[in-house]
Structure 1
Amino acid sequence: MEQQKHKRVYAIDGLRFLAILGVIFYHLSPYLVPGGFLGVDLFLIISAYLLTTSLKRSLDSKGQIHLMTLVKKRLLRLLGPMLWMVLLVVSYLFWLQPVLLHDSRASILSGITFTNNWWQILNGISYFEAAMTPNVFGHLWYIAIIFQFTVIWAIVYTFLVKVIQKDTVIKVITAGLVLVSAILMAVLFKAGTDPTRVYYGTDTRAFSFLLGALLAMFFPYEWVIQKHNYTKAQRQKLLLFGTVLLAAMVYLMFNLNDAATITYRGGIFVYAVLSSLLFVIILLPTTFWHRAFSFKPMVWLGQRSYSYYMWYYPVSILFQQQATAKSLSGVTGIVFQLVLIAMLGEVSYVLIERQMLTKIFGRSFWRAIYINLKHSRNKTIKILKGVLIATVMLFIPVSFIFGLIDASSGENKTVTDIAKSIEDSYSSLNKNNAKEIDKETDKKSDTDSAKDSDKENNKDKGTDQENKQPNDSDKNNDQEKDSEKEDKQPAEEAPTIEGLTPEESQFAANLAISFFGDSTLQATAANLQEVFPKALFDGQQGRQLSQSQDSLRAFVDSGKALDTVVLMLGTNGGFSTEQINGLIEILGNREVVLVTTHAPRSWQNEVNERLTEAANSHANVVLVDWNAAVSGHDDWLYDDHIHPNPNGSHEFALYLARQLTALLDK
């Protein structure tokens, strides 16, 4: 039985594969798997179950836990692959993308001290900084939190066992901590704001870890594996229950997103509960799901999940930052990244996780090199071998050191300039939006008052007046009066805007138009307001088309969506055909204008193809190809090559006015 206690449970490795798959696809294709980040919670549950099982065994057999031994073991497990990844990534950035080294020293230091999650919470990065100089080591928050949980839970659990002693009370306390953590997440989350605090917080993510610990108390593996005598009916029920749980988990991974209120007020918690229950079923050796998750390819990949986790984020970020309009995109781009993650992960797993690096760079390794060089007869070959070895051994460490020295820190001037420009451009528009809505409200109020007044007057005139039919003379007099009124109120002529014809200026000035979009809209809003004086705006930094249905519906319900609505979305990521069609459906019969995206990212071409398809398949939708217009005009854009600068904003407003006059003035 002692051998069974320490036997590796391969089905758990299969479950790890499911978790890492969700996490990777959340970053490679977030509009398809918006809830893939939930895989992290599955990792936390697995880690807590195994840790609590190990702690329980140690307390039962030895009566104590050697905390320092536990910490040392966990440090070696986590630090090796992390340091290897940091070394290679910094070296790469130093030579090829030094701009991404910005603030890397602090990020790396917080990573190797396992405080990265709180460092990111306390040093919030602005949207524009994240877009221009993304934190390549941002995923180290999870490594930090798993180490924190390991140390804290080892101390807390030991205290509970030593002081409380009663298993029932310990379970109740742990369950209570689960609820406290889930409630903290719900309370601290503020809709419409950055969720970093609740997403990275040790306290707000503790419930997933504690659920895993609770499972180890209720279903210790030593007890589970003894239950071999399940009847056929019981196995069928477990099969059905497991299927329902897995289907529900997959549904949440495909439908929750990282900005939705429901995600933080119950969504993640529900997923964690479902995962915990499925985990128990997978542990049962004679069940279908145990065999399914013990499938060798899944197990093989799951055993490498930590190394894959180390590399998926740098690969994703660097691929996006290197992308151009001619880069791999769509399925091809995703496959390329997956292959790169698998290769780097395999090297990390073999050399670091399996501790083969010490063998490669150990004493025997260097001795073999020395003997090989010493006995080389040809001096030229001997020198070449020495140079090659020295280059390989020293090139990466030296590049790493120079990369850290060269890394900039503090305020990024380009980011500051972009943020200030957009703030100046967009800040005054909220007041204008409010004024325009008030005008519409006043008009409606005046109309309703006039109608009410007419009704009162008609009541006083009596039935005879109501039944009186106007004669031809009355009709002629009314027509003459209307004609005189029209002569007294000539049509307003909009001033001609330089760069537009009088017809284009007039059309733009009279157009009831609304703009809904991301930060590219915010950057151009002031110039758009000059050309389209009746326009209303709703722009938000980082807005994703795939997550915009609720906010667009609120935009429509508020009365801000006028006869023509311009959608400026797609800068921040891809989306599906169903998602863009959903936005068009929300706008009903309005004229919808889609603006193509110009962003040197892997999703640009795919986004513009989807926008073109949507315009071609809807009678009330037209396309404005800003990407074609701005291509070759780098002087219209900031250094991020995405957001229009003041000159580019002016050109965009003029371009849009010309296009809309041609497309809509029929």
Structure 2
Amino acid sequence: MGVIVYHLLPNVLQGGYLGVPLFLLISGYFVTYQISKHLMQDGFFDIRAFYKRRFKRLYPVLIAMLVLTTAYITLFARPLLHHIKAIVLTNLLWVYNWWEIKNGQSYFDQFGGISPFTHLWTLGVEAQFYLLWPLILILLFRILGKKKRVARVVLLLAIASAVEMALLYDPANINRVYYGTDTRAFSLLLGSWLGLTWPLNRLRKNLIQPDINLLNGLGIASIIITIIGFFTLNGQNPATYRGGMFFYSFVGMITTAMILHPGASMNRWMTNPVFTWVGKRSYGIYVYQYPVMAFYERAIHVGIHPVINSLIELVIIGIVSELSYQLLEKPLAHYDWTNIRQDLHSIKTISLQGGIKMAFSVIALGIALFGLSQPDHKPAKPAVQARIERNHQLAAQHNKQLAEGKKTSTEKSGKLEREYNLTAQQVKALKNTKVTAIGDSVMADAANSIQELMPQAYVDAKVGRQGSEAPAVISQLKSDGHLNKNVVLNLGTNGAMTKETVNEILSGIGPNRQVYWLTAHVPTKPWQQTVNREIKAAAKKHKNVHVIDWSAESNNHADWFADDNVHMDEQGNIHYTRMVAKAILNHR
């Protein structure tokens, strides 16, 4: 539930991705508990039966999702067919997380057209654990003998995994530590350690009241800490990878232990029809959530009414998951696949309902196979992307000239007056105005226009830049002597910012500089309103912060934008730059 809310409203629950380590540690607990129980009681664990149960549970829903999603892409989203063969194959082989490290988008890239498959990295980690951990655990028991010794080694392995995550963390490539089985193993291993030291069959139901109170207190405290993490732990904060995620996995382990204990009250308190319904359908909900969100948000501008659209997406996810549960998961839960040939031969008549199911399945599979058979062409680079890259290069050249003290070439004043609808006096004033512009891809898009009208402007813009990256950028600009008296900000296209980040940005700029902050025009994303409220709130608190309401100005001007309705075309860049110029002139 935390993961889904994070995906739908990342500005509301920025740490909702912590649901993933919780899920992993629960898996680690039950797998290790079952294996160790059989080894201790019987001296033997049936690995074949374990593999059969696990993959019988995982494969049908995964295959159905891959077929349906590929069929939809083939019909309605052809650009997403790029890499589709590799995506399907690596998912079927349970190594998709490693493919994502090199080829996939960042889990936190919520702007650039999310892939409907990104979330499946967790299944790769899970399946690799199911395959390897029974063998490793049995080997540890044979070598070390006693469960206590095995538990110590497992805890050391968990700590080693967390240390590896911290050492390999690279802000320029979060994918390696986020998707890596080795760097995410600590959640699974903490659950495994709990399975060895807190076995369900050894926990006493009848406890004295002080012990009950202690367990309940620990459970309540750990849940509160987890909820705080869900709201506060930013997935792009270095601290998340340097102990933060391990800490919350440890806290989650305590929560799990308290819920499992039959003598405590946590399980009874948390048992309710909603959690039971979600729990039984959790696999389908998780698998289908991203395709629903990706395809819905390709068609609907969710930023206008983010909460309403999120509720609609939740309903669709619920319906799809319920259909998966009733039509696929329940019927196949106890099906003996060794009888499939006999059962097919024994079918004499098919009901209308069965015929409809079969026809739908055959059609979906046929469309998916057609999509998979298509040549893997990389989608043509959109015109807006080519323009952003060109303008970014021109801005870099202009910045270099400014840094070297060279005179930058400028357009003739008459042309600028006509193009930007400004007076000769205004154009003359802007030519000598020193500006530093900091932003994301929207600023990179407008960089050439800004430096054309304001040749003394130093533009530092980067595609995909998050607000959390800005303080370091500001610090570097200041040390290099490029942070001018007028600072223009365009941050918020790629996600909302915390109050702490906003304060850090403004503190880095300082009160003696004038800050001109453009509101975000991102109607396709749920954080548009949140970002703009943050900007306006900052302007109320700081006298040197001025709002340039680009969102309101451009709201009814679709003709100013490219197809994504976020980045401007040439006309939009002119209007954008004119607003910036007028705001600076008004506060000189």
TM-score, length-normalised on structure 2? 0.86
Contact 2:486 2:584 in 1 (8 A): no
**Does the residue aligned with 1:204 lie in a helix, a strand or coil?**
helix
Residue in structure 2 matched with residue 257 of structure 1 by the alignment: 234
Distance in 1 (alpha carbons) for counterparts of 2:470 and 2:389:
28
User: Aligned in 2, Cα 1:554/1:345: closer, same or farther, shift over 3 Å?
Assistant: farther
**Does the residue aligned with 2:456 lie in a helix, a strand or coil?**
coil
Please list the CA deviations of residues 339-370 of structure 1 after superposition, one character each: whole Å capped at 9, or x if unmatched.
Answer: 111111111122222225979x9769964536
Alpha-carbon distance, 1:288 to partner:
2.4
Residue in structure 1 matched with residue 313 of structure 2 by the alignment: 337
Distance in 1 (alpha carbons) for counterparts of 2:477 and 2:11:
23
Residue in structure 2 matched with residue 121 of structure 1 by the alignment: 101
Contact 2:10 2:527 in 1 (8 A): no
Residue in structure 1 matched with residue 164 of structure 2 by the alignment: 184
Alpha-carbon distance, 1:623 to partner:
1.9
| Correspondence for 1:623 among 523, 543, 548 | 548
Distance in 2 (alpha carbons) for counterparts of 1:66 and 1:237:
38
User: Aligned in 2, Cα 1:229/1:624: closer, same or farther, shift over 3 Å?
Assistant: closer
**Does the residue aligned with 1:215 lie in a helix, a strand or coil?**
helix
User: Aligned in 2, Cα 1:240/1:434: closer, same or farther, shift over 3 Å?
Assistant: farther
Unaligned residue ranges in structure 1 (runs of 5+): 1-20, 374-384, 440-492
Distance in 1 (alpha carbons) for counterparts of 2:47 and 2:579:
66
Alpha-carbon distance, 1:583 to partner:
5.1
Residue in structure 2 matched with residue 512 of structure 1 by the alignment: 434
Please list the CA deviations of residues 396-425 of structure 1 after superposition, one character each: whole Å capped at 9, or x if unmatched.
Answer: 223222333347443643387356425423
| Correspondence for 1:354 among 300, 325, 330 | 330
Residue in structure 2 matched with residue 540 of structure 1 by the alignment: 462
Distance in 1 (alpha carbons) for counterparts of 2:119 and 2:106:
17
State percent identity of aligned pairs.
29
Output aligned runs, 1:123-202, within 5 Å: 123-125=103-105, 133-190=113-170, 192-202=171-181
**Does the residue aligned with 2:14 lie in a helix, a strand or coil?**
coil
| Correspondence for 1:601 among 524, 545, 570 | 524
**Does the residue aligned with 2:382 lie in a helix, a strand or coil?**
helix
1:203 aligns with 2:182: yes
Contact 2:3 2:18 in 1 (8 A): yes
Distance in 2 (alpha carbons) for counterparts of 1:154 and 1:364:
37
Contact 2:108 2:235 in 1 (8 A): no
Contact 2:437 2:457 in 1 (8 A): yes
1:321 aligns with 2:298: yes
Please list the CA deviations of residues 266-316 of structure 1 after superposition, one character each: whole Å capped at 9, or x if unmatched.
Answer: 100111111111211111113122222223322321222111111111122
Please list the CA deviations of residues 235-291 of structure 1 after superposition, one character each: whole Å capped at 9, or x if unmatched.
Answer: 222222222211222222211111111010010011111111121111111312222
Work out which of the two has the higher radius of gyration on C-alpha atoms and give 1 or 2: 1
| Correspondence for 2:390 among 402, 421, 424 | 421
Contact 1:293 1:299 in 2 (8 A): no
Output aligned runs, 1:392-541, within 5 Å: 392-406=360-374, 408-410=376-378, 412-414=380-382, 417=386, 420-421=389-390, 423-428=392-397, 431=400, 434-435=403-404, 495=413, 498=416, 499=419, 500-541=422-463
**Does the residue aligned with 1:352 lie in a helix, a strand or coil?**
helix
Residue in structure 1 matched with residue 83 of structure 2 by the alignment: 103
Contact 1:29 1:574 in 2 (8 A): no
Unaligned residue ranges in structure 2 (runs of 5+): none
User: Which stretch of the first structure deviates more once superposed, 255-264 or 556-565?
Assistant: 556-565
Distance in 2 (alpha carbons) for counterparts of 1:605 and 1:256:
21
Contact 1:98 1:407 in 2 (8 A): no
1:301 aligns with 2:278: yes
**Does the residue aligned with 1:114 lie in a helix, a strand or coil?**
coil
Alpha-carbon distance, 1:39 to partner:
0.8
